[in-house]
C-alpha cells in the first residue's frame, strides 16, 4: 500500500483563510491592527528563509510583522532591555525571538523575559506549564502543527502507541504533553535511546524531529503507521527530512513530505497564536 501523502501547504492555506477572516472581524471590533515584533540577532541563513515565509504569511492574513535587528555581537542586557520595552508597548501584540541566537546569549533568559500574554511561541514556562497540565492556550507552534495535521487526517489518538524522536523543550516535550492530554501512550526518544528501532517499529504513530537525513527507514516503521516528519535538513541536493521518504511511503498509511508537510502548517500555527496574543492585549487593555 502507498501512503496518503499529507499536503501541508493545502492545510496551511485553509488555516490562513480562516485566520484572515477572523482578523477582519477583530480589526473592525477593536479598531486596531495586530502587530507582532521579532527580535533577530545575527545573520543565520535558514532563519532568514523562515522569517521571509512567516512575514509573507502575516501579510496575507493582515498581521503587521516588524523586526528589531541586532548584530551578532549584541549583549544579553540589550536584548533583555528590548524585550522589556516591547512587553510594555501597547502597540505590540506579540513578541518572538528568532532562534538560534549566538552562543554568548541565553535563549532561556529571553524565553522567561517575554510577557506570557505576548508569547507567540508558547515557550514561556507559564505557557509550557499550562500545556503540561492540559490547560492548553499558547502552545508551541511545531507541536501544534503536528496535532493539527493529525486532526486534519482524522487520526484518533486515544489509546494509540506514539513515538516521538526529539526531547527538546520546544518540540518533543510539549508534543508529548499534548498527546498525553489526549490519552495516547507516548514514548519520547533521543540520542541516548539505546535501541531506537525497538520503539519506532511498534508505533501506531511515529513523529520524528531529529534533524538527521534518512534516520527513519522501513525497518523503523510498523505496517500502516502514521509517520510525521518534523525534520528539516538542508543538504547539497536540497531540503529533506528524517524519513527515507521513497521507501517509507510504501509501508506507512500516512506520511508527511519534506518540504511541504509539517513546515507550512507550523507557520500557520504561529499565525493562530498571534491572533491569541492580539486578543490577550486588546481584550485586557
Ligand X SMILES: NC(=O)c1ccc[n+]([C@@H]2O[C@H](COP(=O)([O-])OP(=O)(O)OC[C@H]3O[C@@H](n4cnc5c(N)ncnc54)[C@H](OP(=O)(O)O)[C@@H]3O)[C@@H](O)[C@H]2O)c1
Contacting residues toward ligand X, per CB under 6 A = 142, 145, 165-168, 171-172, 189-193, 196, 209-212, 215, 230-233, 262-263, 266
Q: How far is the CB of 54 from ligand X (least distance, A)?
A: 11
Nearer to ligand X, 57 or 281 (CB): 57
Nearer to ligand X, 94 or 264 (CB): 264
Contact call for residues 131 and 252 (beta carbons, < 8 A): no
Nearer to ligand X, 34 or 263 (CB): 263
Nearer to ligand X, 200 or 280 (CB): 200
- If 0-12 CB within 10 Å is exposed, 13-18 middle and 19+ buried, where does residue 147 land? buried
Give the integer Cα–Cα distance in Å for 1 and 36. Answer: 45
Nearer to ligand X, 155 or 282 (CB): 155
Q: How far is the CB of 74 from ligand X (least distance, A)?
A: 22
Chain residue at closest Cβ approach to ligand X: 211
Per-residue CA distances from 212 to 5, 99, 186, 217, 240 (Å)? 21, 19, 21, 12, 9
Nearer to ligand X, 61 or 149 (CB): 149
Give the integer Cα–Cα distance in Å for 223 and 91. Answer: 52
Q: How far is the CB of 164 from ligand X (least distance, A)?
A: 9
Q: How far is the CB of 191 from ligand X (least distance, A)?
A: 4
* Buried-exposed string 156-190: b where 16+ CB fall within 10 A, e elsewhere: ebeebbbbbbbbeebbbbbbbbbbebbebebbbbe
- Cβ count near 12 (within 10 Å): 22
Nearer to ligand X, 26 or 175 (CB): 175
- If 0-12 CB within 10 Å is exposed, 13-18 middle and 19+ buried, where does residue 251 land? buried
Give the integer Cα–Cα distance in Å for 257 and 248. Answer: 11
Q: How far is the CB of 81 from ligand X (least distance, A)?
A: 26
C-alpha cell at 64: 503587521
Contact call for residues 148 and 120 (beta carbons, < 8 A): no
Of 244, 115, 94, 111, the closest CA to residue 168 belongs to 111
C-alpha cell at 148: 493539527
Q: How far is the CB of 49 from ligand X (least distance, A)?
A: 11
Q: How far is the CB of 46 from ligand X (least distance, A)?
A: 7
Amino acid at each position: 500500500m502507498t501512503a496518503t501523502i499529507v499536503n501541508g501547504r493545502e492545510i496551511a492555506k485553509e488555516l490562513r483563510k480562516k485566520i484572515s477572516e477572523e482578523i477582519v472581524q477583530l480589526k473592525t471590533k477593536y479598531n486596531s491592527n495586530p502587530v507582532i515584533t521579532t527580535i533577530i540577532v545575527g545573520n543565520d541563513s535558514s532563519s532568514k528563509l523562515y522569517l521571509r515565509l512567516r512575514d509573507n504569511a502575516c501579510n496575507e492574513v493582515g498581521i503587521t510583522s516588524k523586526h528589531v535587528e541586532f548584530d551578532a555581537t549584541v549583549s544579553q542586557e540589550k536584548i533583555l532591555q528590548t524585550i522589556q520595552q516591547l512587553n510594555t508597548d501597547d502597540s505590540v501584540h506579540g513578541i518572538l525571538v528568532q532562534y538560534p541566537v549566538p552562543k554568548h546569549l541565553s535563549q532561556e533568559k529571553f524565553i522567561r523575559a517575554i510577557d506570557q500574554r505576548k508569547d507567540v511561541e508558547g515557550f514561556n514556562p507559564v505557557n509550557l506549564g499550562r500545556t503540561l497540565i492540559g490547560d492548553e492556550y499558547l502552545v508551541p507552534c511545531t507541536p501544534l502543527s503536528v496535532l493539527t495535521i493529525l486532526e486534519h487526517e482524522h487520526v484518533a489518538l486515544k489509546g494509540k502507541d506514539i513515538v516521538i524522536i526529539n526531547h527538546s523543550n520546544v518540540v518533543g516535550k510539549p508534543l508529548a504533553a499534548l498527546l498525553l492530554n489526549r490519552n495516547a501512550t507516548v514514548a519520547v526518544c533521543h540520542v541516548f535511546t539505546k535501541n531506537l528501532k525497538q520503539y519506532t517499529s511498534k508505533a501506531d504513530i511515529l513523529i520524528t524531529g531529529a534533524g538527521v537525513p534518512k534516520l527513519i527507514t522501513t525497518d523503523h516503521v510498523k505496517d500502516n503507521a502514521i509517520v510525521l516528519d518534523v525534520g528539516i535538513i538542508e543538504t547539497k541536493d536540497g531540503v529533506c527530512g528524517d524519513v527515507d521518504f521513497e521507501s517509507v511511503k510504501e509501508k506507512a498509511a500516512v506520511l508527511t513530505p519534506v518540504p511541504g508537510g509539517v513546515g507550512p502548517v507550523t507557520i500557520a500555527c504561529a499565525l493562530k497564536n498571534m491572533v491569541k496574543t492580539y486578543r490577550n492585549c486588546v481584550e485586557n487593555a
